[in-house]
Amino acid sequence: MEGWQFLQDQILGMKWLNAMIGNVLCALGLDTNGRIGGSIQFFLYDVIKITLLLCILIFIISYIQSYFPPERSRRILGRFHGIGANIIAALLGTVTPFCSCSSIPLFIGFTSAGLPLGVTFSFLISSPMVDLGSLVLLMSIFGARVAVIYVVLGLVIAVIGGTIIEKLHMEQEVEGFIRSAERVDLEIPEQTCRERA
């Protein structure tokens, strides 16, 4: 438990950084207990903390994403059926942290590849909403409990949303150009760890 608290406070929360910024501001003559000094300390601390976390997370997430190119994701999703497929799609959306800008083309590709609409919607809901970046940022700001609740609720919403869409048989509501889009199968190049980095 002590190790977890250290991870939460010093690694993710970067309380050491807050103390350091407070010391520098005090040395410059600002009262960090006052409104102005406290605001400046809070601003500097949060900007630096979030920037560092995002830079590190983007690197880690991009590295993980290199193992899940769109074609591999499509193949993984094509193996499962029923509610299990929705669960796998939601989980795959979590570990393939695409933003909503890239989730839409993937959704179109998955739909044109013949994957069930509910499965593709579970992926589409989960992908931009629940990812490793949001998990770590939420943990650093609100703690592990809030972060885990957010992720679990996001996955549940993705699975339920995809299941409802599948049960309502809404395939006819999808635009024709999406259903008839050309499917592009690309070779998945093998990369070394150095190339991925």
For 117-169, the pLDDT digits (tens) are 888 888 888 888 887 777 777 888 888 888 889 999 999 999 999 999 889 88
pLDDT of 21: 93
User: Does this model's pTM top 0.75?
Assistant: no
Provide the angle, in degrees to the nearest 10, between the axes of the packed helices 83-95 and 70-78: 160
Which is more confidently placed, 51 or 102?
Answer: 51
pLDDT of 69: 66
Token output for 162? 């995809």
Token output for 122? 């579970």
DSSP 98: -
Average of per-residue pLDDT across 63-73: 68
Mean pLDDT (the chain, rounded): 80
Contacts of 154 (CB under 8 A, 6+ apart): 94, 126, 129, 130
Contact 103, 124 (CB under 8 A): yes
Give the CA angle between residues 173, 175, 177 to the nearest 5°: 155
Q: Provide the residue count of the chain.
A: 197
